[in-house]
Amino acid sequence: MSQRGVLNGTPVAVGAAATSRQFSSDAPPQNISRYPIPNKKDLPFDMLELMEEVETKGGFLPNVFKVLAHRPAEFRAFFSYYNELMNKETGGLTKADRELIVVATSIHNQCLYCVVSHSALHRIYSKKPTLADQVIVNYENAELSPRERVMLDFALAVCRSDTVTDQHFLSLEEVGFDREDAWDIAAIAAFFAMSNRLAHLTDMRPNAEFYNMGRMPRDKTKWEGEGK
Amino acid sequence: MSQRGVLNGTPVAVGAAATSRQFSSDAPPQNISRYPIPNKKDLPFDMLELMEEVETKGGFLPNVFKVLAHRPAEFRAFFSYYNELMNKETGGLTKADRELIVVATSIHNQCLYCVVSHSALHRIYSKKPTLADQVIVNYENAELSPRERVMLDFALAVCRSDTVTDQHFLSLEEVGFDREDAWDIAAIAAFFAMSNRLAHLTDMRPNAEFYNMGRMPRDKTKWEGEGK
Amino acid sequence: MSQRGVLNGTPVAVGAAATSRQFSSDAPPQNISRYPIPNKKDLPFDMLELMEEVETKGGFLPNVFKVLAHRPAEFRAFFSYYNELMNKETGGLTKADRELIVVATSIHNQCLYCVVSHSALHRIYSKKPTLADQVIVNYENAELSPRERVMLDFALAVCRSDTVTDQHFLSLEEVGFDREDAWDIAAIAAFFAMSNRLAHLTDMRPNAEFYNMGRMPRDKTKWEGEGK
Amino acid sequence: MSQRGVLNGTPVAVGAAATSRQFSSDAPPQNISRYPIPNKKDLPFDMLELMEEVETKGGFLPNVFKVLAHRPAEFRAFFSYYNELMNKETGGLTKADRELIVVATSIHNQCLYCVVSHSALHRIYSKKPTLADQVIVNYENAELSPRERVMLDFALAVCRSDTVTDQHFLSLEEVGFDREDAWDIAAIAAFFAMSNRLAHLTDMRPNAEFYNMGRMPRDKTKWEGEGK
Amino acid sequence: MSQRGVLNGTPVAVGAAATSRQFSSDAPPQNISRYPIPNKKDLPFDMLELMEEVETKGGFLPNVFKVLAHRPAEFRAFFSYYNELMNKETGGLTKADRELIVVATSIHNQCLYCVVSHSALHRIYSKKPTLADQVIVNYENAELSPRERVMLDFALAVCRSDTVTDQHFLSLEEVGFDREDAWDIAAIAAFFAMSNRLAHLTDMRPNAEFYNMGRMPRDKTKWEGEGK
Amino acid sequence: MSQRGVLNGTPVAVGAAATSRQFSSDAPPQNISRYPIPNKKDLPFDMLELMEEVETKGGFLPNVFKVLAHRPAEFRAFFSYYNELMNKETGGLTKADRELIVVATSIHNQCLYCVVSHSALHRIYSKKPTLADQVIVNYENAELSPRERVMLDFALAVCRSDTVTDQHFLSLEEVGFDREDAWDIAAIAAFFAMSNRLAHLTDMRPNAEFYNMGRMPRDKTKWEGEGK
């Protein structure tokens, strides 16, 4: 898979290189899932390669890779889908927009893993250290632009499985989103409707690193290349 | 993809062969999605191959293939994932069980496409022509076995994005489901949490064939080989 | 009414002739109610006469007659009320409209008996074999006319016991319903609010015949005289 | 109808006699319904007879009679049904019990007419001047006997259109209610599910007399004969 | 505290004088709270003084004073706050308006004590003996002025902890409420959000006197001086 | 007020001294409330004294003091009540417990100010830098002790205005909370039911300092004296 582009959900330091196949968090993984975490030596090469690439570039391996590795075929489909939706800046959605959709819908679903990890990614990409926290509490009075508000209104409609109507598309158009943007917003909300529920199934726990990532000014420099 | 097994969600007539690349429903597809349906000639070969295989075996091409073809990369990830979860009889779940989970969770999400198409598949696989209709109205008083009831209780908990607890696993164990079965049930509920929302986005309409499929006794013979 | 050949679940004008006292479904009735089903020989003449007329004309006796016969006085009031609301084409509501109201409100109340039996009647009267199935899943994206949509919006408002306001009447007027039509819509929704709950009490099960009635083109001819 | 017993829902003063066919509240009725109130002279004899009997015995004519007279055939079915359910002390339910069920379910449905009129009747029949007020606010901490609490738990389950299960019957049996009592409780809750919605349709307003009826000790004597 | 104005929430008979330190309801208080009621002799002087003043003027001591006396410091803060919000006619809100807000929000929270006691106070202040009863059942069809309706719409939005937006203030302005009135409405709704929950904690029971207070015309004279 | 103890809800730096009456955040306060913020020179001495004490000890003045100063009398009652409930370690509740109750109930009410500021205080008092974040997303799978879980179950029951029953007290007793602890838990939940709504009214914004407070290990030392 890696030949058709990087498949991950983590920030990547420019110029980083995979130098090792060691997971940085080699401590006992028993607390991050209620299902077994496979040993690296038992993993197929393509999965291992992906995980190492992600870890090397981001500095640590997000637990979702370890937890979902319990089912290799589903792992491949999951990250293939994830990569198509999240790791791009095409259309009218920045990476920060995409992360904000994940935060707003995942808090609706009370998903610990996704809220903590994707609010970290939002802080990195947006360089706004408090907006995700505001959205977590109440996106209705968060310091959002009108465009962001309409984006989240639609994402939440999809998240709740509301019937989508022409009115939704009209509201999106009023702030500049076209039909392909609408698909992106909805597909992200839909994909995380799935992800949130898999996290509930496995009791997936966020890496400790996510809680504070992107909160301090010094972090901003580090991730600067990513948010574009 | 076809080399690693048939990738579809439709019943397959024993001995059927792909004799043509024509879609049987070549009528204007404008009513099946609010997004454009790509022309066959513009589709990549792998997608076309999959669609023809499905159509040949099942007798018609379910609209979900046409509608999601609007985004080829997402199409591939979607059906790859679908195939891992639905087209198998491994573990403690029959194909009929899997379809029943889809029906019960999709009606919760009020998804027209998934309810109509997967209740058809349930009728075929289970040879029970009315159980899906009962579950659509109210699974709480449908004619379910205790095992099926617990299975749907758990699927609905996942569907609602409830916090999964040890008690859920204990209830499943009492009727014979182990932890891998729990993963299967939850992953199907989670995947259709996504699918239902994509169907809402696109206003995906079920093929006319699905409404009556498997209702009449004569249908039973036809699909007999599939339900195993 | 009997002169225009009624298939119904309603009381019968004096002069109708009972040609047989046999219930066609003389199999043990133990599965259709959690309350006892009275023996025919113990039923008062007026009830028996009504039931025979219904069975003769419709081909089978809907289980609601057998189940509610447990309380003869309530039986009489119930079917007298039912007859006033359902078996007519007066005002702005066709028989098919009335059945659609029953389907849309009964699915809200998750009533197996009423959804299955009245979606059958809707198929017969409307000659639309799939519309009721669509309404069962989600009336918001069913293939309804604007008039039908407003009709169901109001029926659902009544079903939920919303406070009815002048705005409701204005919306109805915009699509051609007057105040008497509004009463009809609301009274049907209100009557089935009761019926749905009686079906829950008794665990009333639909006759097997209802599930497929009106689905096939050949059925259309049979019931053609009925839908007018 | 009157030959098979009094058909009404109002208390009757001992020894009162029908001396006149005049409605005592002959003031303009425009405020009690959003539908027209028929003139007495236009009413069929049987309806008039019933209304006079009720008014003479109770001291005033409850507005529900005037409001529903707009539809004579439905009026007859409604009061026939009402009479079967409410005006009796058979089985395990007193008249006060029946009124309490109406109060508890009608407040759930926010029905002004039914709450105000039936809490008045409950005060009269029960001789408890404050219990209905407590149930209106919150039956969970009202001064109910355990038997009354279970009765209302079941009535509310029916009111919400919950699926009725064997567990409901077991709970009722534990406090002495048999299956026929269960039917009575559920049928009353179901009938008022209908009545509440008809009151919303018509914006039915309670007679001024109901608000204070049965609150003062001197009322107790007056209605003493009724509550048995 | 009494030197800076009367601190209470009860009506005061004109010309009444504190002649005694006896509570009029000296009967065992065990039924008014699930927490102990302190003996008068153990109460600090300022609390006793307040309670006597309230009792003397109103004719009885509302149970909330006895129940909250279990925690003297919290008692002082509670009644100090209460006094600032309720016992005044400043701004655009009459005393009757304030009581109506309490009734409408307390019934939402199903608080027996607050609904029963403050509907009594509303009857006294407004001289409308039935409006509070209507609001208790359903403020949406109660006989409210447009101004009262908007006031309660806002109070209920606050009661539900909705996000307050500029639209709320615009709606209030349309019927004549300025920003300070908005604060008053919201602060009363917020204070009783607290009070209702304290009443649930303690199972606080209303004094018997409240149920009938202000219902009869003769009461109107008695409290006439209070409503201004 | 200061003579009877410090009245505040903010952390205090060891050894800090009040050297000035200047607010440290003298920047325009226009973004912290939709109501005017009074000028310091217009504030009564007691309020000013309290605010300076809080600011000096905590390093900055929490915006709630400025926002509520718009209504001095309510300000006094609010902080007097607050002080009674929060700034103590009496009974079975630590300061960290109290803050956790505020976080869990305020997120239920989607109150930005209270969630952000009190999760900061919880981090300081508990020295657990991530637990509040977990509770914000979903207290059901946060890393809580059984005792904390039962405490929050009860706090949430009060927060939702559930009817409190003996069962609640039994559950609390099983993990060691007595009736006075129950009062404390409920009173905090009730007080913040009020506070959350006042924050919604005023659109109260948290100080920037709160977002990161207590997240970094170096903070732990600083606040060490406070959590006892």
By the CB < 8 Å criterion, does A112 face chain F?
yes
Q: pLDDT tens, D56-85?
A: 999 999 999 999 999 999 999 999 999 999
Which residues in chain C come in under a pLDDT of 70? 1-30, 218-228
Residue tagged 């996106």 (tokens): A139
Classify the C-alpha dihedral D6-D9-D11-D16 as positive or negative: negative
Residue D90 exposure: Cα atoms within 13 Å on the Cβ side: 11
Secondary structure element (H or E) that encloses residue D200, with its range: helix D179-202
Beta carbons within 8 Å of C109's beta carbon, 6+ residues apart: C159, C192, C193, C196, C197, C200, D161
Note whether E touches D: 3 CB pairs or more under 8 A.
yes
Task: Give contacts of C138 with chain A, Cβ < 8 Å.
Answer: 163
Task: State residue E87's pLDDT score.
Answer: 84
- Cα–Cα nearest to C58, from C81, C85, C30, C87: C87
Does residue C101 contact residue A126 with C-beta atoms inside 8 Å? no
Between CA B179 and CA B160 the distance in angstroms is: 20
- From the candidates F161, F179, F181, F192, which should be mutated to test the interface with E, based on the most E CB atoms within 10 A? F161
Between CA F161 and CA F181 the distance in angstroms is: 18
By the CB < 8 Å criterion, does F137 face chain A?
yes
By the CB < 8 Å criterion, does F177 face chain E?
no
* DSSP state letters, C123-171: HHHH--TTHHHHHHHHGGGSS--HHHHHHHHHHHHHHTTPPP-HHHHHH
3-state helix, strand, coil in chain E (%, to 5): 60, 0, 40
Task: State residue A90's pLDDT score.
Answer: 79
Tokens of D188: 């009353």
* Closest chain C residue to the Cα of E140, Cα to Cα: C163
What's the one-letter identity of residue F16? A
Tokens of C172: 């109805």
- Cα–Cα nearest to F191, from F155, F227, F148: F155
Task: State residue C34's pLDDT score.
Answer: 97
Task: Give contacts of F165 with chain D, Cβ < 8 Å.
Answer: 140
| Residue B160 Cα, gap to closest chain F Cα (Å) | 14
Does residue E35 contact residue F183 with C-beta atoms inside 8 Å? yes
How far from C42 is each of B4, C45, C69, D90, CA to CA, in Å?
66, 9, 10, 21
Contact A161 B196 (CB under 8 A): yes
pLDDT at E192 > cutoff 50: yes
Contact D130 E216 (CB under 8 A): no
Task: State residue C55's pLDDT score.
Answer: 96
* Closest chain B residue to the Cα of F140, Cα to Cα: B163
- Cα–Cα nearest to C212, from B144, B58, B10, B218: B218
* Residue E99 burial class via C-beta count within 10 angstroms: exposed 0-12, middle 13-18, buried 19 and up: buried
- From the candidates F197, F198, F202, which should be mutated to test the interface with E, based on the most E CB atoms within 10 A? F197
Does residue B164 or residue E4 have the better pLDDT? B164
The model's confidence at residue A218, banded by pLDDT at 50, 70 and 90, is: low
% residues pLDDT > 90 (chain E): 78
pLDDT at B23 > cutoff 70: no
By the CB < 8 Å criterion, does D22 face chain C?
no
Contact E137 D208 (CB under 8 A): no
- From the candidates A137, A140, A144, A149, which should be mutated to test the interface with E, based on the most E CB atoms within 10 A? A140
- Assign A50 to helix, strand or coil: helix
Task: State residue F27's pLDDT score.
Answer: 42
Give the distance, in angstroms, between the CA of residue B149 and the centroid of all CA atoms in the same chain. Answer: 19
Between CA A126 and CA E47 the distance in angstroms is: 56
Between CA B189 and CA B101 the distance in angstroms is: 7
Between CA A222 and CA A99 the distance in angstroms is: 18
* Residue C12 burial class via C-beta count within 10 angstroms: exposed 0-12, middle 13-18, buried 19 and up: buried
| Residue E140 Cα, gap to closest chain C Cα (Å) | 7
- Assign F90 to helix, strand or coil: coil
Task: State residue C38's pLDDT score.
Answer: 96
Does residue B85 contact residue B220 with C-beta atoms inside 8 Å? no
pLDDT at D226 > cutoff 90: no
| Residue A131 Cα, gap to closest chain E Cα (Å) | 17
* Closest chain A residue to the Cα of B163, Cα to Cα: A200
Task: Give contacts of E182 with chain F, Cβ < 8 Å.
Answer: 201
Note whether A touches F: 3 CB pairs or more under 8 A.
yes
Classify the C-alpha dihedral E29-E30-E33-E39 as positive or negative: positive
User: DSSP letter at F36?
Assistant: P
Task: Give contacts of D107 with chain E, Cβ < 8 Å.
Answer: 137
pLDDT at D10 > cutoff 50: no
Q: pLDDT tens, D159-204?
A: 999 999 999 999 999 999 999 999 999 999 999 999 999 999 999 9
Mapping DSSP onto H, E and C, the string for chain B reads CHHHCCCCCCCCCCCCCCCCCCCCCCCCCCCCCCCCCCCHHHCCHHHHHHHHHHHHHHCCCCHHHHHHCCCHHHHHHHHHHHHHHHCCCCCCCCHHHHHHHHHHHHHHCCCHHHHHHHHHHHHHHHCCCCHHHHHHHHHHHCCCCHHHHHHHHHHHHHHCCCCCCHHHHHHHHHCCCCHHHHHHHHHHHHHHHHHHHHHHHHCCCCCHHHHHCCCCHHHHHHCHHHCC
By the CB < 8 Å criterion, does A201 face chain F?
no
By the CB < 8 Å criterion, does F138 face chain B?
yes
Residue tagged 């005060």 (tokens): D123
Please tell me the total number of residues recorded for chain B in this structure: 228
* Closest chain F residue to the Cα of E85, Cα to Cα: F74
Task: State residue E226's pLDDT score.
Answer: 40
Q: pLDDT tens, C9-60?
A: 333 333 333 333 334 444 444 489 999 999 999 999 999 999 999 999 899 9
pLDDT at E139 > cutoff 80: yes
Using CB atoms, which chains have 3+ pairs under 8 A with A? B, C, E, F
Q: pLDDT tens, E89-112?
A: 878 999 999 999 999 999 999 999
Using CB atoms, which chains have 3+ pairs under 8 A with E? A, C, D, F
Q: pLDDT tens, A163-191?
A: 999 999 999 999 999 999 999 999 999 99
- From the candidates B161, B163, B167, B168, which should be mutated to test the interface with F, based on the most F CB atoms within 10 A? B163
pLDDT at E10 > cutoff 50: no
Cα angle, residue A196 at apex, residues A192 and A199 outer, rounded to 5°: 135
% residues pLDDT > 70 (chain A): 82
Task: Give contacts of B138 with chain D, Cβ < 8 Å.
Answer: 163
- From the candidates F111, F133, F143, F218, which should be mutated to test the interface with A, based on the most A CB atoms within 10 A? F133
pLDDT, mean of residues E179-183: 97
- Whether the predicted interface score ipTM is above 0.90: no
The model's confidence at residue E178, banded by pLDDT at 50, 70 and 90, is: very high
| Residue E133 Cα, gap to closest chain D Cα (Å) | 8
Task: State residue C12's pLDDT score.
Answer: 33
Q: pLDDT tens, B160-202?
A: 999 999 999 999 999 999 999 999 999 999 999 999 999 999 9
By the CB < 8 Å criterion, does D178 face chain C?
no
Question: What average pLDDT is seen over chain B?
Answer: 86
Task: State residue C87's pLDDT score.
Answer: 84
Task: Give contacts of B182 with chain A, Cβ < 8 Å.
Answer: 201
What's the one-letter identity of residue D71? R
Residue tagged 């902080």 (tokens): F79
Does residue C150 contact residue C121 with C-beta atoms inside 8 Å? no
Does residue C97 contact residue C148 with C-beta atoms inside 8 Å? yes
By the CB < 8 Å criterion, does C160 face chain D?
no
Between CA C209 and CA A28 the distance in angstroms is: 60
pLDDT at A225 > cutoff 90: no
| Residue E34 Cα, gap to closest chain C Cα (Å) | 36
Contact C137 B136 (CB under 8 A): yes
Which residues in chain F come in under a pLDDT of 70? 1-30, 217-228
